[in-house]
Amino acid sequence: MPNQALTLLLEFDDQVRRDHHQPPAFLHRRDRRFALEATEPHTPRAWLDHIQRLSGGHTNAALKPLRRWRRITLGFAVTGTVLGIVTMLGLLYYDGSGRINVTVMLGFMLLQLMLALATSLQALVGWRPWGWLIERYLHPAEESAMAINRLQPQLMARAAHCGGLMFALAGLLTLLTLVVVRDLAFGWSTTLSTGADSYYRFVATLAWPWHTLWPAAVPDLELVSQTRFFRIEADTAVTAGRWGEWWPFVTLAWCCYVILPRLILTALSSLHLRLRARHVLTSHPGLLALRYRMETPEVDTGHQNTDVNVTPELAVNARLHPLPDSPVVVRWAGAGEASVPAQFQGHQQRLVVEAGGAASLAQDQTAIAEAGRHLSDDSRHSVTLLARAWEPPTAELEDFITDARSHWPANTRITLVPLATDPNQPASDQQLAPWLRFCERLADKRLYVARYSNVDATTGNGEALS
């Protein structure tokens, strides 16, 4: 039966690794959406099912490391089986000249028990004395950072217990087979000055777990007394028939002190593995990040709207023209309000009118009419229109020029002069560029742009913007 906690951990770990190269915004959107739409609890399993469903189904690629561990476990089991048979054949070797020492058998059982406990203890404390072996021969380098690596002690303990269990079962079968097919002579012997009474109490204690189930498998004092053998053999003809009566005790002792502990510890190792896998999953950094993404609202600031304005054509083909000496100066939208250069101030030959900005539309009409009258009295049909360089030309100025054209002599030359914040300084190229483009857009052949500079009145003669 597959360990669900373990497969969940592996699949989750695999998905987190796949997500490693995804943009964080995408992950947030995906997982937050899952959290908002999912009807089931937001468990890693539900999340994985959701992801896998969207990706077209479940794949077993994530379980590849687990298959390797299954092979390792199988290897332990096969080796355990073979060793179990060989070991039991060795323990029960009997050529008729001696006895099979029950004390040795009990000692071997104790050794098995100790090994089983040591295996479990090692898994509990997470000790990996064999770790280098795994990493060197059985473990691909790319898996070194995977979550399954944190379960190595538990996986190894489970494999070892499986091997131990198979060893014990194979040993039992071998024992029973030999009991059937051969006449085994068991006895007990020890160098210690232990009497039959003491040994009887010892084996009776060992046999306590099954004394009610199978009383015949509990050696009696008589059997113990009669089956003691010594290095220097005495005549034992009376007891010879009883040598074989030890086998039920040996069999049940093997079951009780070798097989049963292995069985319990194998089950416990599986449980430990499951608990450990669950713990690794709950402390997985990917799970913390996933929970954060699921719990945190996804904020979209509207940054993805790219279908908006196309960057305007900023090339300037028109050139600046020389500043004319016009008989009419129009101050548009308060240009030159603070201080107007002397070149644009009114006198007998030069009319200065105001339009645009704070002026009303009626005042604009009056200014156009006044300028028209003045132009008809002057042979220089030229108008200088002062503007604020930093305020871009608007449709109102376009309306004013169009309107003025219909009232002024047809050949009137209109020169736009954008003034800088400080009127005595020339306007920058950057400020003049929109005015030149405005001029181009209107397609008025007698509309020009000039730059004013108090240093050199001829500045701008045929000048192009840099």
Q: Binding residues for another protein, per CB under 8 A?
A: 20, 23-25, 32, 36, 141, 144-145, 147, 149, 284-286, 292, 296-306, 308-312, 314, 333-334, 338, 356-358, 360-361, 388, 390-396, 399, 421, 430, 433-434, 437
Give the integer Cα–Cα distance in Å for 120 and 268. Answer: 9
Q: Rounded to the nearest whole angstrom, what is the least distance from the CB of residue 305 to another protein in the complex?
A: 6
Phi, psi of 354 (to 5 degrees): -115, 145
- DSSP lists the bridge partners of residue 187 as 101
Nearest to 252 by CA among 105, 150, 51: 105
**Start-end of H helices in 64-130:** 64-91, 102-125
End-to-end CA distance of the chain: 80
Q: Rounded to the nearest whole angstrom, what is the least distance from the CB of residue 325 to another protein in the complex?
A: 28
Q: Rounded to the nearest whole angstrom, what is the least distance from the CB of residue 373 to another protein in the complex?
A: 24
Instruction: Tell me the HSE value of 44 on the side-chain side, using a 13 A CA sphere.
Output: 25
How many CB atoms lie under 10 A from the CB of residue 136? 8
Q: 372 vs 392, which CB is nearer to another protein?
A: 392
Phi, psi of 16 (to 5 degrees): -60, -40
Give the integer Cα–Cα distance in Å for 286 and 209. Answer: 49
Q: 351 vs 387, which CB is nearer to another protein?
A: 387
Q: Rounded to the nearest whole angstrom, what is the least distance from the CB of residue 394 to another protein in the complex?
A: 5
Buried b (16+ CB within 10 A) or exposed e, 302-330: eeeeeeeeeeeeeebebebbbbbebbbbb
CA distances 94 to 88, 120, 181, 186, 398, Å, are: 12, 34, 13, 9, 122
Q: 132 vs 235, which CB is nearer to another protein?
A: 132
Tokens describing residue 412: 């009137």
Give the integer Cα–Cα distance in Å for 3 and 1. Answer: 6
Nearest to 71 by CA among 5, 4, 134, 165: 134
Q: Rounded to the nearest whole angstrom, what is the least distance from the CB of residue 434 to another protein in the complex?
A: 6
Q: Rounded to the nearest whole angstrom, what is the least distance from the CB of residue 428 to another protein in the complex?
A: 10
Contacts 24+ apart (CB under 8 A), 288-297: 289/16, 290/16, 290/31, 290/44, 290/47, 291/42, 293/27, 293/28, 293/31, 293/32, 293/35, 294/31, 294/32, 294/34, 294/35, 294/42, 294/47, 295/35, 296/28, 296/32, 297/32
Q: 94 vs 390, which CB is nearer to another protein?
A: 390
Q: Rounded to the nearest whole angstrom, what is the least distance from the CB of residue 296 to another protein in the complex?
A: 7
Q: 163 vs 336, which CB is nearer to another protein?
A: 336
Q: Rounded to the nearest whole angstrom, what is the least distance from the CB of residue 424 to another protein in the complex?
A: 15
Q: 235 vs 307, which CB is nearer to another protein?
A: 307
Q: Rounded to the nearest whole angstrom, what is the least distance from the CB of residue 295 to another protein in the complex?
A: 11
Q: 175 vs 427, which CB is nearer to another protein?
A: 427
Give the integer Cα–Cα distance in Å for 288 and 285. Answer: 5
| Maximum separation of any 2 CA atoms in the chain, in Å | 163
Contacts 24+ apart (CB under 8 A), 399-405: 400/332, 400/355, 400/356, 400/364, 400/368, 401/442, 401/444, 401/447, 403/364, 403/365, 403/368, 404/368, 404/371, 404/372, 405/444
Q: Rounded to the nearest whole angstrom, what is the least distance from the CB of residue 142 to another protein in the complex?
A: 8
Q: Rounded to the nearest whole angstrom, what is the least distance from the CB of residue 431 to another protein in the complex?
A: 9
CA distances 50 to 27, 35, 46, 67, 274, Å, are: 14, 11, 6, 24, 23
Q: 193 vs 301, which CB is nearer to another protein?
A: 301
Q: 2 vs 23, which CB is nearer to another protein?
A: 23
Q: 9 vs 265, which CB is nearer to another protein?
A: 9
Q: 50 vs 242, which CB is nearer to another protein?
A: 50
Instruction: Calculate the CA dihedral of residues 306, 309, 311, 314 and round it to 10 degrees.
Output: -170
Q: Rounded to the nearest whole angstrom, what is the least distance from the CB of residue 372 to another protein in the complex?
A: 21
Q: 23 vs 462, which CB is nearer to another protein?
A: 23
